[in-house]
């Protein structure tokens, strides 16, 4: 980069379990080690490095082929000033596997943070967040796998907390984040029954848990889970109709809310990491593209379908570039 005075990029691709995430961390560690020092530079390095355990906690999960599989795409740009000193950076995320929040294949796990929170929270936090063992939550007990060999969820939770401190999340922000995570888990425990083709909530206790954690009125939340509002316009007149949902529609609405909450929480974390790394200095960048690997599940979500397509296209590009280089 310094010799050619131009931006560079590293593209990491391969099937699930090939070592893409580890390779990306090695590259980031290497860049941090060989670049200069100083208090400001060290802060930028710390944020860049600590973004890994934070985003892995919320964006990685155990799959059949990989115990720490990235379930989101990530493009990290590290910006350098004159002399090769890191001055800032930016992370772009895409295709978070939201479907994993509400549906997990057997022998797999959902996102790490759910298990870290259940295992690593102290008694006070567990009481406040109304936490229990993972098998208590419907979203997690769809799989019989709750622990991963060689992984200490309680220890990893402490690393996640440390990463939150380094990127500058306040105590209140951390508290709100865990309220949302716990709220998503309890949301999956809300069950419905059908009476006269209309859905109704059968366990109001879990509804009250979610309402308390998300600071939403239980009556309002309950109404939104079993009904939707339709706006119709006839000429200049607008009519608003409230439609009561059936059982299947209510389950879909509950799951859609859980996925939307988690996806927005993940976007917020990426935004806060970027805020901690923002810089106005001009310079050159090294980009690192880390996408999650090619994998085929018993039930493939839209995100996995897209990333499999991307992996196939990248492989074609590699082959074309290799053949052209050989021809030259």
d(CA 24, CA 12): 7
d(CA 257, CA 260): 5
128 labeled binding residue: no
19 labeled binding residue: yes
d(CA 94, CA 22): 19
- Taking the alpha carbons of 282, 286, 288, 289 in that order, is the dihedral positive or negative? positive
Q: Are 297 and 105 in contact (CB under 8 A)?
A: yes
Q: Are 47 and 273 in contact (CB under 8 A)?
A: yes
235 labeled binding residue: no
Helices H / strands E in the chain, number of each: 11, 10
Give the torsion through C-alpha atoms of 120, 126, 130, 132, to 10 deg.
Answer: 50
Task: Return the ∠ at Cα 66 (arms to 61 and 69), rounded to 5°.
Answer: 40
d(CA 225, CA 138): 17
Residue 8, SS3 per DSSP: strand
Residue 138, SS3 per DSSP: coil
14 labeled binding residue: yes
**Positions marked active-site:** 16-17, 21, 66, 69-70, 293, 295
20 labeled binding residue: yes
d(CA 242, CA 150): 51
Instruction: Please state the residue numbers annotated as binding site.
Output: 14-21
Instruction: Please state the residue numbers annotated as binding site for ATP.
Output: 14-21
């Amino acid at each position: 980069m310094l010799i050619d005075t131009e931006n560079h990029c590293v593209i990491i691709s391969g099937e699930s379990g090939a070592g893409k995430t580890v390779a990306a961390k090695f590259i980031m560690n290497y860049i941090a080690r060989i670049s200069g020092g100083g208090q400001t530079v060290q802060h930028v390095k710390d944020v860049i490095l600590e973004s890994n355990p934070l985003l892995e906690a919320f964006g990685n999960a155990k799959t059949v082929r990989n115990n720490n599989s990235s379930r989101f795409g990530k493009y990290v740009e590290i910006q350098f000033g004159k002399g090769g000193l890191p001055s800032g950076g930016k992370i772009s995320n895409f295709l978070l596997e939201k479907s994993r929040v509400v549906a997990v294949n057997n022998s797999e796990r959902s996102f790490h943070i759910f298990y870290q929170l259940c295992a690593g929270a102290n008694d006070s936090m567990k009481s406040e967040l109304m936490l229990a063992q993972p098998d208590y939550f419907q979203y997690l007990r769809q799989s019989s796998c709750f622990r991963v060999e060689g992984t200490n969820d309680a220890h990893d939770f402490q690393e996640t907390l440390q990463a939150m401190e380094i990127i500058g999340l306040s105590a209140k922000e951390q508290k709100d984040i865990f309220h949302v995570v716990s709220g998503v888990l309890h949301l999956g425990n809300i069950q419905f029954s059908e009476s006269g083709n209309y859905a109704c909530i059968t366990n109001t206790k879990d509804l009250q848990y979610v309402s308390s954690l998300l600071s939403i009125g239980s009556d309002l939340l309950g109404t939104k889970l079993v009904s939707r509002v339709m706006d119709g316009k006839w000429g200049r007149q607008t009519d608003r109709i409230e439609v009561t949902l059936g059982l299947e529609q209510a389950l879909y609405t509950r799951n859609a809310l859980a996925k939307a909450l988690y996806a927005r929480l993940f976007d917020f974390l990426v935004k806060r990491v970027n805020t901690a790394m923002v810089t106005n200095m001009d310079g050159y960048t090294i980009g690192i593209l880390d996408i999650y690997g090619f994998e085929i599940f018993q039930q493939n979500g839209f995100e996995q379908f897209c990333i499999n397509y991307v992996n196939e296209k990248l492989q074609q590009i590699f082959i074309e570039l290799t053949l052209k280089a050989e021809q030259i």
